[in-house]
Amino acid sequence: VAGGAWLLRGGEDAKPLPGQHLRTLAEQRGLEIGTAVRGDVLRKNRAYRQTVAAQFSTVTPENEMKWEAIEPSRGEFDFGPGDDIVERAGEARQKVRGHALVWHFQLPGWVRELGPMQLRQATREHIRTVMSHYDRDVGIWDVVNEPIADDGGLRPSVFARRLGEGFIEDAFRTARVADSDAKLYLNEIGAEAIGPKSNRLYEVVRALKARGVPIDGVSFQTHSNLDGLPADFVSNMQRFKALGVDIAITEADVGLKLPPSTADLRRQADIYARIVSACLTVKCASLTFWGFTDGRSWISETQAGTGAATLLDEDLRPKPAFGAVQKALGGR
d(CA 87, CA 222): 28
User: Looking at this protein, which amino acid is placed at residue 56?
Assistant: F
Say if CB 2 and CB 8 are below 8 A apart.
no
Say if CB 216 and CB 185 are below 8 A apart.
yes
Judging by DSSP bridges, how do beta strands 95-102 and 58-61 pair with one another? parallel
User: Mapping DSSP to helix (H, G, I), strand (E, B) and coil, where does residue 197 land?
Assistant: helix
Judging by DSSP bridges, how do beta strands 286-289 and 246-254 pair with one another? parallel
Answer whether the bond into residue 2 is a cis peptide, omega within 30°: no
Q: What angle in degrees, to the nearest 10, is found between the helix axes of 320-330 and 262-281?
A: 30
Catalytic site includes residue 146: yes
d(CA 182, CA 131): 9
Residue 158 makes CB contacts below 8 A (sequence gap 6+) with 104, 107, 111, 112, 119
Catalytic site residue from 146, 169, 188, 314: 146
Q: Is the dihedral of CA 280, 204, 253, 102 positive or negative?
A: positive
99-to-34, 36, 93 alpha-carbon distances in Å: 13, 10, 19
Half-sphere exposure for 187 (CA within 13 Å, toward CB): 28
Say if CB 281 and CB 36 are below 8 A apart.
no
Residue 27 makes CB contacts below 8 A (sequence gap 6+) with 57
Catalytic site residue from 62, 71, 192, 251: 251
d(CA 63, CA 302): 14
Judging by DSSP bridges, how do beta strands 286-289 and 183-188 pair with one another? unpaired
Catalytic site includes residue 251: yes
Residues designated catalytic:
146, 251
